[in-house]
Copies of this chain bind each other. A is one copy, B any other.
Amino acid sequence: MTLAETDAATGLREVMAEIGRNARLAARALAIATPDQKRTALITAAGAINAHRAKILAANATDMAAARTKGISKAFLDRLELTDARIDAIIEAVRTIAELPDPVGTIIAEWDRPNGLHIERVRTPLGVIGVVFESRPNVTADASALCIKAGNAVILRGGSDSFHSSHAIVECMLDGLHAARLPTEAVQLVPTTDRAAVGEMLKGLDGNIDVIVPRGGKTLVARVQDEARVPVFAHLEGIVHVYIDKAAALDTAVAVTLNAKMRRTGICGAAETLLVHKDVVQTHLKPIIEALIAKGCEIRGDATVMSLIPAAKAATELDWRTEYEDAIISVKVVDSLDGAIAHIEKYSSHHTEAIISEDPQAVETFFNQVDSAIVMHNASTQFADGGEFGFGGEIGIATGRMHARGPVGVEQLTSFKYRVRGTGQTRP
């Protein structure tokens, strides 16, 4: 490194360290904020987003223009773009989160001990959440609102392409914090697009970040998991399976599979692999696949599928491991429920899997043995979503088993502590 580079690196570390210290102080204030203060902050922020709509759209237009000159993909531009309708959705999300029950202080469990001690387990905030995301500007509002509601401070590091959009939205969140007399350092947007800032966050800013939430593609999540020295709520890919049991009702099988794959192909709850019991190949597999093809889905099948469906391509080993995020599905015939479970065990990313069956015993076996964050019966995997679960929003879907699993909403952004009430008890 040259001297100038060393200075720059030191400067960045200092900027980030200060962001961490400020976040910790803000988190302490947020932890003891009243439910009313937090609600006021969010309602005011939602109002500010509405009031500053033109400014937000102008900032987004700046980001979009810069992104277009870089020749960025259409899918990326679509995620980056804000419209009036999308701003309405952001406002609605912030308002919904504002009106959720306040989780902090909720008694999760309480019991008495024979010695008369009364023990309560109560929800507390987690502390400081670091959110590293890519291009979606709505994450700025969603993540801030969820963190504030749960009494946390948040450090946001968005993709450089969405910087102006994110900045404009964060300004509105600060209006909300200010109105509620809460420290505005509770929501901080990292003011640099230098990638080294992410590295500093992954090191934890001297113990001032409690958990990192990556929101983005495989490359981002892999970097975060590899480098992070603090806990991560990682959302790996969604290699989602739908299993058609031999006791599946045909109409349910067709409707659910079609929705699970084709409603939106780019979301993480979209089905990627269809497993079909061998006994229903003639009755179920054919009509399901014909319906998928009619909707424009490409079929990659095993030998049985290939022999039945002329349009099918041959699935390779790689297909079973692929999250297409596209109108493509891999299809395999299995000998039994156990065969389906074994395939899922081998290839699933432990996100969401569904069984279509009218046999309660098969459903229970599937529910017990499939080790995924979400298991579903006779329902589309596209319901794997915090909003659909009634959480009012989500900051991502965790595929690990530590702390948070499945949609990460307000409740998953909390911890707990024990309150023990005595009358002078001493331990013998």
Which A positions have Cβ atoms within 8 angstroms of B? 28, 31-32, 105, 111, 113, 117, 119, 124, 126-127, 210-211, 231, 249, 251-252, 255-256, 258-260, 263, 345, 363, 367-369, 371-380, 382-383, 388-390, 401-403, 405-406, 415-427
B contact residues around A368 at 8 Å (CB): 32, 105
A382: chain B residues at CB < 8 Å are 426-427
Q: A231-B231, A401-B415, A418-B406 in contact; A425/B379 too (CB < 8 A)?
A: yes
Our pick among B32, B255, B405 for the contact of A424 (Cβ within 8 Å) is B255
Beta-carbon contact of A388 and B426 below 8 Å: no
Which B residues are in CB contact (< 8 Å) with A258? 426
- Asked whether B424 lies within 8 Å of A374 as measured between CB atoms, the reply is no
Decide: B259 and A379 in contact? CB cutoff 8 A.
no
Is the pair A427, B383 in contact by a Cβ cutoff of 8 Å? Answer: yes
Q: Which of A231, A363, A416, A424 has the most CB of B within 10 A?
A: A424
- Return chain B residues, CB-CB under 8 Å to A119: 389-390
Contacts of A388 in B (CB 8 A): 113, 117, 427
Chain B residues, CB < 8 A from A256: 424-426
The distance in angstroms between the C-alpha atoms of A256 and B423, with both chains bound, is 10
Q: Name which residue of chain B comes closest to A104, CB basis.
A: B368
Contact residue among B260, B369, B390, B417 (Cβ-Cβ distance under 8 Å from A32): B369
- Bound Cα distance from A62 to B28, whole angstroms: 52
CB nearest to A350 among chain B residues: B417
Measured CA separation A1–B84 after assembly (Å): 64
Tell me whether A379 and B420 are in contact (CB under 8 A).
Answer: yes
Give, as a whole number of angstroms, the nearest-CB distance from A247 to chain B. 14
Closest to A378 in B: B422
The closest CB in chain B to the CB of A370 belongs to B417
Q: Which residues of B contact A113 (CB under 8 A)?
A: 388-390
B417 touches A406 (CB 8 A): yes
- Beta-carbon contact of B372 and A117 below 8 Å: no
- In the bound complex, do residue B389 and residue A127 qualify as a contact, i.e. CB atoms below 8 Å apart? no
Nearest-CB distance from A78 to chain B (Å)? 20
Task: Name the distance in Å between A375's Cβ and chain B's nearest Cβ.
Answer: 6
A375→B423 contact, CB < 8 A? no
Q: For A380, what are the chain B residues with a Cβ–Cβ distance below 8 Å?
A: 422, 425-427
Most buried by B among A249, A420, A424: A420
Residues of B contacting A379 in the complex (Cβ-Cβ under 8 angstroms)? 117, 420-426
Are A421 and B377 in contact, CB atoms less than 8 angstroms apart? yes
CB atoms of A417 and B405 under 8 A apart: yes
Across-interface contacts of A126 in B (CB, < 8 A): 401-402
Can you list 17 pairs linking A and B with CB atoms under 8 Å apart? A111-B390, A117-B379, A119-B389, A126-B402, A251-B424, A252-B423, A255-B424, A367-B419, A374-B418, A375-B417, A376-B421, A377-B421, A380-B425, A380-B426, A402-B415, A405-B417, A406-B417
A392 to B: closest C-beta gap in Å = 13
Q: Verify B405–A371 contact, CB threshold 8 A.
A: no
CB distance from A402 to the nearest CB of B (A): 5
Contacting pair A210 B427 (CB below 8 A): no
- B231 close to A402 (CB less than 8 A): yes
Which chain B residues border A231 with CB–CB below 8 Å?
Answer: 231, 402
Chain B residues with Cβ below 8 Å from A378 are 421-425
Chain B residues in 8 Å Cβ range of A369:
32
B401 with A402: CB separation less than 8 A: no
Contact assessment for A402 and B111 in the assembled complex, using a CB-CB cutoff below 8 Å: no
Name the residue of chain B whose CB is nearest to the CB of A428.
Answer: B263
Contact of A420 among B31, B375, B417 (CB under 8 A): B375
Nearest chain B CB to A147's CB is how many angstroms away?
Answer: 14
* Bound CA–CA A427/B31 (angstroms): 36
Residues from chain B with Cβ under 8 Å of A420 in the complex: 374-377, 379, 383
Interface centre among A231, A256, A421, A427 (most CB of B within 10 A): A427
